[in-house]
A and B are shown apart, each in its own frame.
Chain A
Amino acid sequence: MSNTKISIESLYKIFGKNPQSVLPLVQDGMSKQDLLEQHGHVLGLKDINIDIPDRSITVIMGLSGSGKSTLIRHINRLIEPTAGRMIVDGDDVLAMTKKELIQFRRYKSSMVFQKFGLHVHRTVAGNVAYGLTMQGMPLKKAKAQSHKWLERVGLAGFEGHFPSQLSGGMQQRVGLARALATDAEILLMDEAFSALDPLIRTDMQDVLLDLQTELHKTIVFITHDLDEALRIGDKIAVLRDGAVIQQGDPQDIIMQPADDYIFDFVKDINRGRVLKVKTIMDVGVSVDGPDIPADMVLEEALQIAASSGTRAGNVVNRENQIVGSINLDQIVAGLARPADVSTKEGMYR
């Protein structure tokens, strides 16, 4: 497991006239609805504790209004907290002075927005250069550098265009290039692909995953879409009414949804394309049969089983060592409705 890059500790956010006055009530467990009806304050975030690992993609998921945007804006402090700490590389962002915060935003983190947040009065190159100019680089030099990132996101040649001349997908590529250009280690993405058509969204996910294999940033990615979360997330945290109700390995969340809210999210996904062999195998046991990689999804494992004519196979890790076995019955059970799966706790890992 990699190191923790960002550690969110007991973070609270209450919107309203006098948040501090109602904070104790929230800490004692008052619900979002009661707080609004009895005290006229909106509960944004409630006792958030998340460790975000270095060099991987952490997805924060939840329905609209669950507090995702509020949470991600605390990481670079676009929103001031009511209580709590946001430790990045050992420093509490929420305790920084104005100057330190500006330095943090210029060098340590960058952000991609849902509606792109481009500056319509700047050219594409000007937008991508923006973060670099904030770091103090002369505009000319920054624009020259932006070329490299535009190429990386597939927009070479569009330097002189204005954002309004581009399609939504292209605009978000500019947004992504702008965020990458500053070389910040932390990339914050607030529903960055939600405004795009499904096909273009998948394209952008590919672009991001492709870049990540090379850049290894610490990415915090917000989405309301479970398929997207499963596709790109190394870790998932689920928010509801401003509180984290489950977090961890995506496979765990599918196999053991913490409550009905999450169950509703996971019940309709295509399990064959998401669940991995290692999640449902018998640990340690070896059998007579073909080798199946541990990270393979069930659908592909089924393919191997069917074409080899056997009912079982050995599960191997990246070093080709046998770590367990899996048979057709288990795969079929894994593909079945979640209600069946969640009761078979013995099979889990």
Chain B
Amino acid sequence: MDFWTGKIPAWALQFPDMGRTELRDFKKAIDAGFRTFSRAFGEDIENFFHPLLQFLVWFEKLLLATPWPIIILVVAGLAWLGARSVGIVVGAILSFLAIGYFGMWKDTMSTLAIISVATIVCISLGIPLGIWMAKSDRVQAIVTPILDVMQTIPAFVYLIPVVMLLGIGKVPGLISVCIYAMPPIVRLTSLGIRLVDKEALEAADAFGASYRQRLFGVQIPLALPNIFAGVNQTIMMALAMVVIASMIGVAGLGVPVLRAISNQYLALGMMNGLAIVALAIIFDRVSQSYGKRLQRHRQGINHE
């Protein structure tokens, strides 16, 4: 500290902060304000999200109650529809068999449920927002920094207000996952629409397309490869949040990982971690090759 003493004025060495007591009161005031807010509106907000909770619970129960061979069949079928690749289908089947064999079936179903619901929520909010952002430069200017914050703020930080507001459980978990996973789909939808060829759009206008005809007939179809890349990234990011979400009461593969961390169970942690990775790879390969197939006409490869 005395390194600079005498050479530099004292005021420059000590930052003029607001003082310990004032700072404490300041923080207390914010906490108290938010607590009042959550006491006043917490219940309303909870009610607002109730249908979502019911859907999530119902879907999780459905997955857990369905016999495992049927689940595997459905997964294989979806993988085939998306990827049209025998390799990917076989990989998906083997992964699920291994997951079940090593006793992670139930947790995997829970994780699948929350990831699916989170993805549905992100898509149904994110795509319209992305469309709006592409249309208006002002919306773009407002939303972009918000997306930046959503993507970079440490998840633990926004867990605090979410938990204060809604407590611990599935809904706050779902919201946390969505906050983290939504930015890519919004960004890529907007980007995709903004990149649509100007003359292709002018052609739609010149032939008398209405706003909707232009949006659904030209902009979205031409932006689809980008929108799809956004969906893919959103799923990946939702999977990445599984462990953190389990800290606030979301069931799934994250729970054993947390237990493994606190008890130093190496094998348990690794196995569940690998199960998450397997899900990620399956989702990624299937959605990517689906996206590529959407794009085929651009490279002049014959359709079917």
Contacts and interface: CB of A to CB of B under 8 A. Distances in A.
Interface of A: 73, 76, 78, 102-107, 109-111, 113-121, 130-131, 134-135, 162, 164-165, 178, 182, 188
A105 B206 contact: yes
Among B203, B210, B224, B298, max chain A CB count under 10 A is at B203
A109 B207 CA distance: 8
B298 A113 contact: no
B87 interface: no
Contact of A78 (B200, B202, B222): B202
Interface residues of B, number: 23
Contacts of A114: 199
Contact of B297 (A102, A110, A121): A121
B221 A113 contact: no
A110 B207 contact: yes
Contacts of B299: 164
Contacts of A131: 207-208
Contact of A105 (B208, B221, B224, B297): B208
Given A130-B203, A134-B209, 14 more contacts: A73-B202, A109-B206, A110-B207, A111-B207, A115-B199, A119-B218, A119-B222, A120-B200, A130-B207, A131-B207, A134-B213, A162-B303, A164-B298, A164-B299
A121 B205 contact: no
Contacts of B51: none
Contacts of A116: 199
A118 B203 contact: yes
A120 B203 contact: no
A114 B197 CA distance: 13
B203 A162 contact: no
Nearest to A119: B200
B221 A111 contact: no
11 contacts: A76-B206, A111-B203, A117-B200, A117-B203, A119-B222, A120-B297, A121-B297, A130-B203, A134-B207, A134-B213, A164-B300
Contacts of A111: 202-203, 206-207
A110 B206 CA distance: 6
Nearest to A181: B207
